[in-house]
A and B are shown apart, each in its own frame.
Chain A
Amino acid sequence: MKTEQANDDNLLSLELRIAKLLRWGVLGAGTLMLFGWMSILDFSQNPLVKFHDYKEQSLQNSLRSIVENHQWGLLIAYAGLVLLISLPLLRVLMTGFLFVQRKERILAFAAFFVFVLLILSFTLGIEL
């Protein structure tokens, strides 16, 4: 039982290092989002009015319109969002390598499978 506890402690301490890295990533993403959002603040109107009705507009089209209209604040906020979304992906991938290193093949496969599922889920958002 002591070996099992030591084994788990070692695994968790390695994962803890990854999680601490992610915390910095969240801080960076949050800063980008906050900075981007603050730079587009417009007190003359209610900016949420345009979101009362749902309009389908892909990320690709939104980014094109942002670049055309020089809305750099929005672009920075989007960069924060992309960074944020990529953090759990990175966590799953690194956990997979952690299990490879420990020769726990089934769990390494499970982690890489989750990674592939996440990538697959992202592609579902792209309207072809």
Chain B
Amino acid sequence: MYEFILLFCSIAAGFLGSLLGLGGGIIIVPTLSLLFHVNIRYAIAASLISIVATSSGAAASYLKDNLTNLRLAVLLEIGTVTGAITGFLIAKKIQTHYLFLLFGVFLFISTLMTLRKRSEHLSTKNHPWSHKLGLASSFPDKKNGVQHYNVEQVPFGLIAMYFAGVLSSLLGIGSGIFKVLAMDGAMKLPMKVSSATSNFMIGVTATASAGAFLLRGDVRPEIAAPVSVGIIIGSWIGAHYMVKIPSNVIRKIFVVVLGVVSIQMIIKGLS
């Protein structure tokens, strides 16, 4: 019975994650730890597995529209994977209540950030590294036919990805919001490109820590299997039916719900 409730909750988490653009991990960790009272370390490990599954399964759709900057993704993965290794080493030592606190704060910030309005700032400058590695690219655009873009501040992007990797490993999330923020804001990538490139990288980042957690014994199939299968099904439903749902209303409702959950996580961390 409990297994099916967990499967159902994971489907809902995957659905909501894709609806809110947050990913399922950020919803499943509080669900497992607050609702099912699963230790947060097992919850984080299971969440990372589900991120690997959804990202690997969806990689083809991110590439299909020619929006993913593959060269940039490969370069930035150095930052995210190094960060994930650091995150794993911290996670081994950190006490559980700090994980709750960190997660609560992160969830609160992420929830607020889903409400921000992203604006496009295309750059005319190209960073020397971008020039050397051919990172500047273009994508098909309905308005202009083909939209060309440059890439700024590549070293800053690598550092930002390192911290995104630390958070991903420490909290069992994709940390796509921070990746997109760095790529939009600092590297001046077009919004569509930064979202697609971030989504493409998430699986590799999560793999670094998921593999380590698996070998350490923290990934338990009794939790990870229903969570992964549920989130894959939920994200698929979300991606296919997103257009038919008045997402703005639902988004506002769930922003409030996630805000409350984040406060609960903080309270649990402080207690």
Contact = CB atoms under 8 A, between A and B. Distances in A.
Interface stretch (B15-23, B105-113, B226-234, B246-254): B226-234
B217 A41 contact: no
A26 interface: yes
B198 interface: no
Interface in B77-94: 77-78, 81-82, 84-85, 88-89
Contacts of B217: 56-59, 61-62
Contact of A15 (B63, B136, B216, B224): B63
B74 A85 contact: no
Contact of A125 (B37, B207, B215, B225): B215
A53 B213 CA distance: 16
Categorize the interface residue count of chain A.
35 or more
Contact of B85 (A23, A104, A124): A124
A20 interface: yes
Contacts of B37: 48, 52
Interface string B190-217: 0000000000000110011111111111
Given A41-B3, A77-B221, 16 more contacts: A23-B60, A26-B232, A33-B221, A48-B38, A78-B221, A81-B214, A81-B219, A84-B53, A88-B56, A99-B74, A104-B133, A107-B74, A117-B81, A118-B208, A121-B208, A126-B216
B216 A36 contact: no
B132 interface: yes
Interface of A: 1, 4-5, 8-9, 11-12, 15-16, 19-20, 22-23, 25-27, 29-30, 33-34, 36-37, 40-41, 43, 46-48, 51-54, 56-59, 61-62, 74, 77-78, 80-82, 84-85, 87-89, 91-92, 95, 99, 104, 106-107, 110-111, 113-114, 117-118, 120-127
Contacts of B215: 58-59, 122-123, 125-126
A110 B158 CA distance: 12
Interface string B27-46: 00000000011110110000
Contact of B53 (A5, A26, A43, A126): A26
Interface of A is mostly: helix
B260 interface: no
A88 B63 contact: no
B242 interface: no
Interface of B: 1-3, 6, 36-39, 41-42, 49, 52-53, 55-57, 59-60, 62-64, 66, 68, 70-71, 74-75, 77-78, 81-82, 84-85, 88-89, 96, 132-134, 136-138, 146, 148, 203-204, 207-217, 219-226, 228-229, 232
Contacts of B228: 30, 33, 84
Given A22-B57, A59-B215, A117-B81, A47 B2 contact: yes
Given A48-B36, A121-B208, A12 B66 contact: yes
